[in-house]
Amino acid sequence: MQSYQAAKRAIEAGEFVPLYLLFGEESYLQEELISLLQKHYLGQDSDLGCEKIDGKIHDLPSVISRAAESSLFSERRLLIVDNPPCLAPPRQPGVPQNEEVSENRQELENAGVEILSAYIESLGSERPDTIIVFRVPGVDRRKKIFKTIDKVGAAVECAVLKGDELISWINRQAASLGKKIDRSAVGRLLMADNQSLHNISSELAKYATYLGDKEKIITESTVDLLFAGGLESTVFKLADALAEKDHDRAQSLLERLLARREKPLPIFFMLVRHYRLLLQARCLVEEGLPLTEITAILGVHPFVVRKLKDQSALFDRRALEDIYIGLQQTDLQIKTGILDPVQALRVVLSRIDYWQNKAS
C-alpha cells in the first residue's frame, strides 16, 4: 500500500502501474492524483484519453473489455472507475442484509480477482497503454481483490489530513500559488468549521488572487479580511476583542455573524464552549502541564491550544470562572424563555465586559 505522497512522487517521476486503487475520505487527494496521471501519463491527450465509468452500472468484465480496446483518438487511455461493487467495504454492524445479496457480493469479489489477475497477466512489462483507476471512499483491506491490486498495482490511501500533515499540505499549496503563508494565517484557516481540502484550496486561491504578484506572503490579516466562513474563528476573534476590552469591536463581530444569518443559538453555544475551553486551558497551564498533554485533554488542534493558552492569559482566572457561571445562567434564561437567543447574545457581551472589569 502506498501513501498519497509516495504515489504522487512516482507519477511525477513517470513511474506508472496499470492499476490504481484510490480510497479514503479525502476526495480532493484522489482528484489531485488523477490530474497528475492526466498530465504526466496522457500528456497532450489528457482530454481525449480520459474516460470516466460508473462502476455501479458497468460491471468489472465490461470495464476490462473496454480497457483492452484501442482508441482512435489517443495512444494512451486512462479509465476512471467510480465505486465498483466488488471493492465495496463490508456492511456496517446492525445493518440487515439478506443472504442472496451477501452471496452476490462474494461472487462479484471472487470474479473480480480472477478477471483482474488474468488482465494483469496479459500485460507485458512495458509501459502500459491503458491505466485503470478504481476510486472508492472505503475498502476492506482484507479482501483478495484489494491484495491483488496492491500487489500488481498501487493501492493508495487518501485519508483526511490532520495535524502536521495538513499544515505541510497548506504550505505546499500556498507555494504552488507562488506564495508563503504565515503560521498565524495557517492557524486561522485551521479554525474553519469546514476543513476539507477543497475549501482550504479555494480559500488559498482567493488570497493569492487578492494579493496579486507583488505581495508574496499570506498573513493573518489577509485571512481575517477575506475568510468566507468559520463560526469558530469568528468566536475566537470576538473573545480576543473582549479580552482586549474592545466592546465595540466585539459587538461589531456579533452583528456581522447575525447579518450573515448565522443562527443565534449555535453562536451562543460556541461562545459557551469557547469560555469553557479557556477556563480549562488556564487551569491546566497553571498546573504546569505541557502543551502536548493539554492538547490530548482538550481534544482540539495544537494550534487552537496555543491560541487558548495565549488568550486565557489575558483574563483573570476569577473572571473566567464568573463568565462561565454567568453563561450557564444565561443558558437557563434562554431555555425558560426569559431571554430570546439574539437578546441573550447582546446581553452576554455586556456581562462578560462587566465580569472581566469586576475581577480586575
The CATH number of whichever domain residue 206 belongs to comes to 1.10.8.60
Interhelix angle 291-298/302-312, nearest 10 degrees: 100
Contact in structure between 156 and 21 (CB atoms under 8 Å) = yes
| DSSP for residue 87 | G
Same domain, 289 and 325: yes
Same domain, 241 and 354: yes
User: Which residue has better confidence, 74 or 124?
Assistant: 74
Can you give the three-state secondary structure of the chain, one letter per residue?
A: CEEHHHHHHHHHCCCCCCEEEEECCCHHHHHHHHHHHHHHHHHHHCCCCEEEEECCCCCHHHHHHHHHCCCCCCCCEEEEEECCHHHCCCCCCCCCCCHHHHHHHHHHHHHHHHHHHHHHHHCCCCCCCEEEEEEECCCCCCCHHHHHHHHHCEEEECCCCCHHHHHHHHHHHHHHCCCEECHHHHHHHHCCCCCCHHHHHHHHHHHHHHHCCCCCEECHHHHHHHCCCCHHHHHHHHHHHHHCCCHHHHHHHHHHHHHCCCCHHHHHHHHHHHHHHHHHHHHHHHCCCCHHHHHHHHCCCHHHHHHHHHHHCCCCHHHHHHHHHHHHHHHHHHHCCCCCHHHHHHHHHHHHHHHHHHHC
C-alpha cell at 324: 462561565
Contact in structure between 342 and 294 (CB atoms under 8 Å) = no
Same domain, 92 and 209: no
User: Which residue has better confidence, 348 or 110?
Assistant: 348
CATH number at residue 38: 3.40.50.300
C-alpha cell at 107: 461472487
Same domain, 113 and 189: no
Residues of the domain holding 310: 231-359
Same domain, 331 and 290: yes
pLDDT for the residue numbered 71: 65
Same domain, 24 and 149: yes
Is the overall model pTM greater than 0.75, yes or no?
A: no
Identify the weakest region by mean pLDDT among 5-9, 35-39, 52-56, 129-133.
52-56
Same domain, 131 and 194: no
pLDDT for the residue numbered 56: 78
Same domain, 202 and 241: no
Same domain, 97 and 197: no
pLDDT for the residue numbered 112: 66
- Cα–Cα dist 248/125, whole Å: 70
- Does residue 128 register a pLDDT over 90? no
Q: In what order do the strands lie in the sheet with 77-82?
A: 2-3, 154-157, 19-23, 130-136, 77-82, 50-54
CATH number at residue 340: 1.20.272.10
Same domain, 6 and 152: yes
Tell me the pLDDT tens digit for each residue of 70-79: 666 667 888 9
pLDDT for the residue numbered 223: 84
Tell me the pLDDT tens digit for each residue of 243-300: 888 888 888 888 888 887 888 888 898 889 889 999 999 999 999 998 889 988 988 7
Number of structural domains (the chain) is: 3
Contact in structure between 157 and 1 (CB atoms under 8 Å) = yes
Same domain, 202 and 289: no
Same domain, 145 and 119: yes
Of 154, 140, 133, 34, residue with least CA distance to 87: 140
- Spatial CB neighbours of 288, under 8 Å, sequence gap ≥ 6: none
Q: Rounded to a whole number, what is the largest CA-CA distance in the chain? A: 80
Collapsing DSSP to helix, strand or coil, 70 comes out as coil
pLDDT for the residue numbered 101: 47
